[in-house]
Amino acid sequence: METTRVTTTDKDVESLETDLLVYFATQVKDKAPKCDKAVAAQVKKAFNLGDFKGKQGEQLFYYPAVLGKKKQPNAKRVLVLGLGKVASEEDRAMGCECLREAGGHLAKVCEKIQAKEMIISLPLLDILGADKTAASLIEGVLLGDYRFTKYKKVTRKKTDYPGLGAVKFAATSSVKLVRRGVLQGKIWAQAACAARDMAHEPGNGWTSADFAAFAKDIAKRHGLDYRCIEKKEMEKLGMGGILAVNQGSVIPPRMVILEYQPAKKSETILLVGKGLTFDSGGISLKPGAGMEDMKYDMCGGAAVLAAMQAVAEEKPSVGVVAIIPATDNMPSGSAVRPGDIIRHYNRVTAEIINTDAEGRMILGDALAYGIETYKPDCVVDVATLTGAVVIGLGHHYSGLISNNDTLALCLEEAGKQAGEPIWRLPLNKHYKKQIESKVADIKNIGGKAGGTITAAAYLSNFVGKTPWAHLDIAGTAWDFTEKAYIPKGPSGIGVRTFLTLIRNWETGKLK
Ligand code: BES
Ligand code: MN
Ligand code: ZN
């Protein structure tokens, strides 16, 4: 929940009153699980009875008041949550993911017991610092505690759980580190939740104007540069791609731009996100069944804008520019037709064979304009671009296509660290040949075979030699792998991957 108060304390947790006090236990082969000495006796007892091994997600509850002894915790309930073995292994990314899932489990427990607040006694893990541990846990809690209730006011019961009011972290050492981790985890989780909020909004609740307003608000609050290219200016600039897609719509298109530059001159990362606020397919109309899901076709734009919210708050030492080409794709007497030829911002002409392959058309203009204007050191675009990526990778990996091996590696690594896995697909001249047109420079579809790659082949015409990576999140932006901290519906995917990429870029770990 966005309004959840998150704090850190170095007070003795046993003296604090709360709905739920949480400790953790890690699994040890053939031995009692490792845990804080405050709960060691209970854990050992449960282990000896065969009730608790500390497996991932395993829960051991007890109720201190009932035991009646003195010096019992003041909490109404104590929970020991199993972390499994993962956290004791070498792999840091897996450790973080395990903690995020633990946080998600905690959010579910809190909903079940209707907890207003909980205190988390931070586990000490050898492989992760206290900051990463706290960050991952709070990410999991806040992402798991997410709910979208804006349009459910009348039928919602008073007793429905409103979400966590407060979370307190208790740490007796490294309090400064924990504070830093908690703050960062909170910023990242809130950004991902903001992306989910945008995605949840239907086509009549989130238009190009809403993208613009959200960006403007970030700029105002944090001093970023905001620009919005309106329809008239698009016409002047010759942005034939986004204009063509918008032709059937009564809502004007917008190219929303946010620029963050650090005080000290640095490299610049350009992020471009598909902000298609509703994709009917246009004249190449989609079938009716499931068409309502196409309100999610703006998840790329949401990811980019939400990431900027966190960038604005964290102020990294690398520059970040975000561009969101935003419009809906509607059929009408004025809509673009199959067979029409359009001219993009960079003068490349395209024959429109299928008006439902519209994402690449709006991204083409945004990529070419962004690269020319901001001369970034690399560009990453993110889009719910093809149904084909769902066939190829299912709902568990986002597809990646890139013209640069180093950038591709950076993204794969960032995705792994964020718990948002990415799988690279190839691109070469044979795929590019599939989108050759008889009458224009290119055409906008390349046949059934390799649909995700031929879509990327189209985009490759707008990036020149700039290191570029394209993420196809059509399979992961919603219905993403079920996890304790990813509820059904929009996942907010991409946000934390981008923030991780930016962080790694800053520290120069991968370049
Ligand atoms: N927004 C869709 C892609 C999509 C499909 C996202 C399913 C999420 C779930 C995109 O604009 C589209 O319609 N792509 C077409 C391309 C085709 C016409 C070449 C597709 O994938 O069917
Ligand atoms: Mn489409
Ligand atoms: Zn689309």
DSSP state, residue 286: P
Active site residue 196: no
Q: 463 near 281, Cβ under 8 Å?
A: no
Q: Whose CA is nearest to atom 17 of ligand 1?
A: 357
pLDDT tier, 68 (very low <50, low <70, confident <90, very high otherwise) = low
Catalytic choice (100, 254, 295, 360): 360
Taking residues 301-310, report their average pLDDT: 99
State whether the Cα torsion 75-80-83-87 is positive or negative: positive
Atom of ligand 1 nearest to the CA of 297: 1
Nearest to 22, CA basis, from 39, 7, 2: 39
Measure the N-to-C terminal CA separation of the chain; round to a whole number of Å.
Answer: 36
Q: Ligand 1 centre and the CA of 359: distance in Å?
A: 8
pLDDT at 70 over 90: no
Q: Ligand 1 centre and the CA of 357: distance in Å?
A: 6
Q: 221 near 341, Cβ under 8 Å?
A: no
pLDDT tier, 22 (very low <50, low <70, confident <90, very high otherwise) = very high
Nearest to 78, CA basis, from 18, 129, 163: 18
- Amino acid identity for residue 301 in this structure: G
Q: Ligand 1 centre and the CA of 451: distance in Å?
A: 9
DSSP state, residue 287: P
Is the CB of 338 within 6 Å of ligand 1? no
Sorted by where each begins, the domain ranges of the chain are 5-175, 197-495
Is the CB of 354 within 6 Å of ligand 1? yes
Atom of ligand 1 nearest to the CA of 296: 8
pLDDT of residue 213: 99
Nearest to 365, CA basis, from 458, 449, 297: 458
Is the CB of 434 within 6 Å of ligand 1? no
- Tokens 């890139």, residue located: 402
Taking residues 286-315, report their average pLDDT: 98
208-222 and 299-314 helices, crossing angle to 10°: 10
Nearest to 215, CA basis, from 268, 271, 147, 262: 271
How do residues 245-261 score in pLDDT, each as one tens digit? 999 999 999 999 999 99
pLDDT of residue 1: 53
Percentage of the chain lying above the pLDDT 90 cut: 91
What CATH number does the domain located at 197-495 have? Answer: 3.40.630.10
CA distance 337 to 344: 16
Atom of ligand 1 nearest to the CA of 477: 8
Q: Ligand 3 centre and the CA of 103: distance in Å?
A: 33
Residue among 284, 386, 398, 442 whose CB has most ligand 1 atoms within 8 A, to mutate: 386
| The model's pTM | 0.97
SS3 260: strand
pLDDT of residue 157: 85
pLDDT tier, 71 (very low <50, low <70, confident <90, very high otherwise) = low
How do residues 29-49 score in pLDDT, each as one tens digit? 999 999 999 999 999 999 999
The Cβ of residue 292 has, within 10 Å, a number of other Cβ atoms equal to 11
- Tokens 């007890």, residue located: 62
Is the CB of 208 within 6 Å of ligand 1? no
Active site residue 286: yes
Q: Ligand 1 centre and the CA of 358: distance in Å?
A: 8
- Tokens 């990431």, residue located: 307
For strands 341-343 and 349-351, give the pairing.
antiparallel
Q: Whose CA is nearest to atom 16 of ligand 1?
A: 357
CA distance 452 to 80: 45
Nearest to 85, CA basis, from 121, 127, 46: 127
pLDDT at 509 over 80: no
CA distance 191 to 205: 19
For strands 117-121 and 20-28, give the pairing.
parallel
Atom of ligand 1 nearest to the CA of 279: 1
State whether the Cα torsion 122-126-131-132 is positive or negative: negative
Alpha-carbon separation of residue 51 from 45, 64, 76, 77 (angstroms): 9, 18, 22, 18
pLDDT of residue 156: 83
Percentage of the chain lying above the pLDDT 70 cut: 97
| Architecture per CATH, 5-175 | 3-Layer(aba) Sandwich (3.40)
Taking residues 3-22, report their average pLDDT: 94
pLDDT at 507 over 90: no
Nearest to 194, CA basis, from 164, 217, 161, 178: 217
Atom of ligand 1 nearest to the CA of 454: 19
Enter the tokens of residue 338. 């199959």
Count Cβ atoms within 10 A of the Cβ of residue 155 and give its class: 0-12 exposed, 13-18 middle, 19 or more buried: exposed
pLDDT of residue 3: 87
Catalytic choice (108, 231, 286, 424): 286
Residue among 356, 478, 493 whose CB has most ligand 1 atoms within 8 A, to mutate: 356
Nearest to 151, CA basis, from 201, 187, 111: 201
Q: Ligand 1 centre and the CA of 356: distance in Å?
A: 7
Q: Whose CA is nearest to atom 5 of ligand 1?
A: 387
- Amino acid identity for residue 312 in this structure: A
The Cβ of residue 481 has, within 10 Å, a number of other Cβ atoms equal to 16
Q: 492 near 193, Cβ under 8 Å?
A: yes
Q: Ligand 1 centre and the CA of 75: distance in Å?
A: 51
